[in-house]
């Protein structure tokens, strides 16, 4: 998490997020998904990742952002979590960035709701903020 110096970045809505590269297995284009009726809302569906069945979670919904506009093709970040591999749906994939520890600041106290729970802090990059996600919490089952 915050100790990693290399982050895989992606965009959600107008925000830039990052998860440690060591947690990311791969990044792929959106696969055909099989919806799971009566599943928690965050679960977008199931994908076939080389013969393995992986649950896809919609990060927009998890972070309580607006729904993705119709027709926008999401990308998938496959992360290795305690529960096994999981696919996170994001809007767009950014670069892998190397950050300076000194540019890190903890999440402000004013952060509210789900953001306060899931965002560890931010790296102040040039012209934008890189928000660092607590992956373990993000993929935890929301009940």
Partner 1 sequence: MSELDEVVGEFLVESYENLDRYDEELIALERVPGDLEILDSIFRTIHTIKGTCGFFGFSTLESVTHVAETLLDRLRTGELAVTEEIASALLTTGDTVRRLLEAIEATGEESDDDCAALVAELERLDTTGEPAGAPSAAGVSGGDPGEATAAPAQAGAPSDTSDSEDAASGADAPAGAPSPGGLAETTVRVDVGLLDDLMNLVGELVLARNQIVQLVAEDPDGEFAGASQRLNLITTELQEGVMKTRMQPIGHVWNKLPRVVRDLAVTCDKQVDLAMEGRDTELDKSLIEAIKDPLTHLVRNAVDHGIEPRAERRAAGKPDVGRLTLRAFHEGGQVNIEISDDGGGIDLSTIREKAVAKGIAGADEVARMGEREVANLVFAPGFSTASQVTNVSGRGVGMDVVRTNIERIGGTVDVSSELGAGTTFKIKIPLTLAIVPALVVGVDAERYAIPQLSLVELVRLEGDAAREGIELVHGAPVHRLRGQLLPIVHLGRELGRVEGVCERDVLNIVVLHADGERFGLVVDEIHDTQEIVVKPLGSHLREATLFAGATIMGDGRVALILDVLGVAERAQVVSESRERSARSHDDEPSVGGDARRSLLLVAVGEDRRAAVALSEVARLEEFEPSAIEWAGSHEVVQYRGDILPLVRLSEALGVATTSTANDTVEVVVHRHGDRQVGLVVSEILDVVDDHLSLDGTACRPGLLGSAVIDGHVTDVVDVDTVVATAGLPPPSHPEVAA
Chain positions contacting partner 1, by CB under 8 A: 32-40, 42-43, 45-48, 51-55, 57, 83-84, 86, 141
From the CB of 51, what's the least distance to partner 1, in Å? Answer: 5
Judged by beta carbon, residue 37 or residue 127, the one nearer partner 1 is 37
From the CB of 3, what's the least distance to partner 1, in Å? Answer: 26
Task: Name the DSSP letter for residue 34.
Answer: B
* Contact (CB, 8 A) for 59 and 12: yes
Phi, psi at residue 47, to the nearest 5°? -120, 160
Judged by beta carbon, residue 14 or residue 38, the one nearer partner 1 is 38
From the CB of 111, what's the least distance to partner 1, in Å? Answer: 25
From the CB of 77, what's the least distance to partner 1, in Å? Answer: 16
Judged by beta carbon, residue 42 or residue 122, the one nearer partner 1 is 42
Judged by beta carbon, residue 3 or residue 32, the one nearer partner 1 is 32
Q: How many CB atoms lie within 10 A of CB 104?
A: 16
Alpha helices in the chain (DSSP H): 59-62, 113-118, 135-138
From the CB of 25, what's the least distance to partner 1, in Å? Answer: 15
Residues in the chain: 143
* Contact (CB, 8 A) for 121 and 104: yes
Judged by beta carbon, residue 16 or residue 55, the one nearer partner 1 is 55
Cα-Cα-Cα-Cα torsion 49, 136, 41, 14, nearest 10 degrees, comes to -90
> Given the structure tokens 């990052």, which residue do they identify?
18
């Amino acid at each position: 998490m915050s100790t990693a110096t290399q982050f895989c970045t992606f965009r959600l809505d107008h925000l830039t997020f990052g998860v440690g590269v060591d947690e990311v297995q791969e990044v792929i284009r959106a696969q055909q998904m099989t919806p799971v009726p009566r599943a928690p809302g965050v679960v977008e569906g199931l994908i076939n990742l080389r013969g393995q069945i992986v649950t896809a979670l919609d990060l927009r919904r998890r972070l309580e952002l607006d729904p993705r506009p119709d027709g926008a093709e999401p990308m998938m970040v496959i992360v290795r979590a305690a529960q096994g591999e999981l696919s996170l749906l994001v809007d767009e994939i950014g670069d892998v960035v190397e950050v300076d520890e000194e540019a890190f600041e903890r999440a402000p106290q004013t952060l509210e709701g789900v953001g306060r729970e899931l965002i560890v802090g931010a790296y102040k990059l040039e012209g934008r903020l890189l928000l660092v996600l607590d992956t373990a919490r993000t993929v935890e089952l929301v009940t």
